[in-house]
Amino acid sequence: MSVDKNLKILIVDDFATMRKVIRNLLKQGGYENIVEAEDGAAALKILKSQPVDFIISDWNMPNMSGLELLKAVRSDDELKALPFLMVTAEALKDNVVAAVKAGVSNYIVKPFTAEVLNEKIEKIVKSLAA
Amino acid sequence: MDVRFINPFLNGTVQVLKTMAFVEPKAGKPFLKKDSLARGDISGIIGLTGAARGSLALSFSEGCILKIVSNMLGEEIKTLNGDIKDAVGEITNMVSGAARKELETLGFNITAAIPTVVAGKDHSISHVLGGPSIIIPFETPQGPFVVDICISAVGGGK
């Protein structure tokens, strides 16, 4: 089963440059249907106003962190089934445990290649379809 | 400074630039730096606390960082603009993360602060511990950059 490249992906990161970097990596994997938000609060507004198929969120962000966004998504009846890939700068055990407890679909540690990012997306989407 | 701290930062730098920017920097021989003058045109600095305390700075020459960020973004950047500043902060953050992951295996659990970025000719770098610092020089086809670290184990280390 191949993953639909028209998936609408929401990138959440407070650094505009990092959003561009992730967008560039996704483009290399054939994903071009992308929306962006600068923090968790802005992401929730987008999620409430338009359909999104997949969330890629940074962990460390001001206003609303990636973990807080994940918790908000998982506690919302309309959004709770959305695939959620967390991006972190470090794979600290405590952080991973907290994210798994909160219902993260998977996580990816920076730095990462386009191949690794796309593999993670495919793995999550395929596991949901199974 | 404990020499065990050098390799994690060296390895982390190579890993980050190779993975995110397809640039393979060539490391030179580390040396001691006693002044606060940055060895590049733009620097990212990040504070470190925990089992070891200090700071890490990455200072890039203009040509080098323009190539790195252009590769990261998939578009050519010609001047030291806001994208470059953001990227230098993010690269510093990622190098710190990769190095701290390796240091964790040596028994040092270290946390990092939020990076700051300083640009301009002859800018200075203020290390948390005051200095001196260790410089790891790197070469890329587009110009040099350095990793500038000043870090010490808390309570004498392990």
The reported pLDDT for the residue numbered B158 is 46
How far is the C-alpha of B84 from the C-alpha of B23, rounded, in Å? Answer: 16
Q: Which residue from B100, B101, B92 is spatially nearest to B46, judged by alpha carbons?
A: B92
Chain segment A43-73, per-residue pLDDT in tens: 999 999 999 999 999 998 888 999 999 999 9
Local confidence band at B146 (pLDDT 50, 70, 90 cut-offs) = very high
The reported pLDDT for the residue numbered A94 is 76
How far is the C-alpha of B1 from the C-alpha of B132, rounded, in Å? Answer: 9
Picking from B20, B82, B83, the nearest residue to A111 by CB comes out as B20
Local confidence band at B156 (pLDDT 50, 70, 90 cut-offs) = low
**Residue B157 included in any domain:** no
Tell me, yes or no, if A32 comes closer than 8 A to chain B by beta carbon. no
Picking from B16, B89, B101, the nearest residue to A91 by CB comes out as B101
Q: How close does chain B come to A42, measured CA to CA in Å?
A: 20
How far is the C-alpha of B115 from the C-alpha of B158, rounded, in Å? Answer: 27
How far is the C-alpha of B27 from the C-alpha of B23, rounded, in Å? Answer: 12
The reported pLDDT for the residue numbered A115 is 93
**Residue B20 included in any domain:** yes
Q: What is the CATH number of the domain that holds B45?
A: 3.40.1550.10
Q: Please tell me the total count of domains within chain B.
A: 1
Pick out chain A residues at pLDDT < 50: none
Q: How close does chain A come to B110, measured CA to CA in Å?
A: 10
Q: What is the pTM of this model?
A: 0.87
**Residue B79 included in any domain:** yes
Chain segment B34-93, per-residue pLDDT in tens: 888 898 999 999 999 999 999 999 999 999 999 999 999 989 999 999 989 999 999 999
Closest A-chain CA to B94: A89
3-state helix, strand, coil in chain B (%, to 5): 35, 30, 30
* B83 chain-A contacts, CB cut-off 8 A: 16-17, 20
Q: Which residue from B58, B59, B48, B46 is spatially nearest to B2, judged by alpha carbons?
A: B48
* A89 chain-B contacts, CB cut-off 8 A: 93-94, 96-97, 112
Q: What burial class does residue A79 get, using C-beta atoms within 10 Å of its C-beta: 0-12 exposed, 13-18 middle, 19+ buried?
A: middle
Which of B:123-152 have CB within 8 Å of A?
none
- Beta bridge partners of residue B149, listed in sequence order: B56, B134
Closest A-chain CA to B114: A60
Closest B-chain CA to A58: B90
How far is the C-alpha of B102 from the C-alpha of A50, rounded, in Å? Answer: 41
The reported pLDDT for the residue numbered A62 is 84
- In the A/B pair of chains, how many CB contacts fall below 8 A? 54
The reported pLDDT for the residue numbered B157 is 47
Segments forming the whole domain that contains residue B38: 3-152
Quote the DSSP letter at residue A4: P
The H or E element spanning position B115 is none
What average pLDDT does chain B have? Answer: 92
* Domain architecture of chain A: domains with CATH: 9-129 (3.40.50.2300)
Query: In sequence order, which ranges of A40-113 are alpha helices (DSSP H)?
Result: 40-49, 66-74, 93-101
